[in-house]
Chains A and B, each alone.
Chain A
């Protein structure tokens, strides 16, 4: 069965430090991965998707099929990056399976 694992519930880093939010997946089909972000009191919004290979707000994520991972990275964390981050896997039916989320706290 498909599964998305985010091992860290909470990640605290200092402003300016590098950030890596881990995400591993299990899926028998061809994986399509996303990162969603939820800022305080706001709705869930798409941050980036692996097929776009883009960098949004300084964040990047590379799909590693060998390690079944899609870690989210940013070289220098900013205070405004503090939020809840969810990794999600899209199934062939276009449904999303979410990880449990990681709360990123950037310390000034």
Chain B
């Protein structure tokens, strides 16, 4: 149990367009989901914390108007990269915590975004 999926696994888009990435908890309910960004050969950097039914909390330096996060249900959070630019190209990873078990995060496989 505790499987997290992401869709798409990779996406290429043109500069100026928007891209939506989905994160789903397949077999459990997740009140809290987290979005990370990982640059090549670097660590995961937390972008934002997403709580079901409320606004996401963004880390310092992350533009909330550029990285829109929606957590409308207990099994789905979405990250929309708006007006994407080449510097937004990265690996985006989500994780989810089972409701009531906040100390463990289950990670998705990640989404590779390339902006041309």
Contact = CB atoms under 8 A, between A and B. Distances in A.
Interface residues of B, number: 20
Contacts of A44: 44, 93, 95, 107
B46 A43 contact: no
A94 B46 contact: no
Interface in B38-52: 42-46, 49
Contact of B105 (A42, A96, A99): A96
Interface in A35-63: 36, 42-46, 49, 51
A94 B103 contact: yes
Contacts of B109: 42-43
A49 B102 CA distance: 14
Nearest to A38: B107
Nearest to B102: A94
A98 B32 CA distance: 18
Given A43-B110, A95-B34, A96-B34, A90 B103 contact: yes
A93 B93 CA distance: 19
A99 B32 contact: no
Contacts of A100: 42-43
A86 interface: yes
A81 interface: no
A11 to B, nearest CB: 15
A95 B48 CA distance: 9
Contacts of A51: 103
Interface string A2-40: 000000000000000000000000000000100010000
A90 B102 CA distance: 10
A36 B107 CA distance: 10
Interface of A: 32, 36, 42-46, 49, 51, 86, 90, 93-101
10 contacts: A32-B103, A43-B4, A44-B95, A49-B103, A93-B49, A96-B44, A96-B46, A97-B46, A101-B42, A101-B43
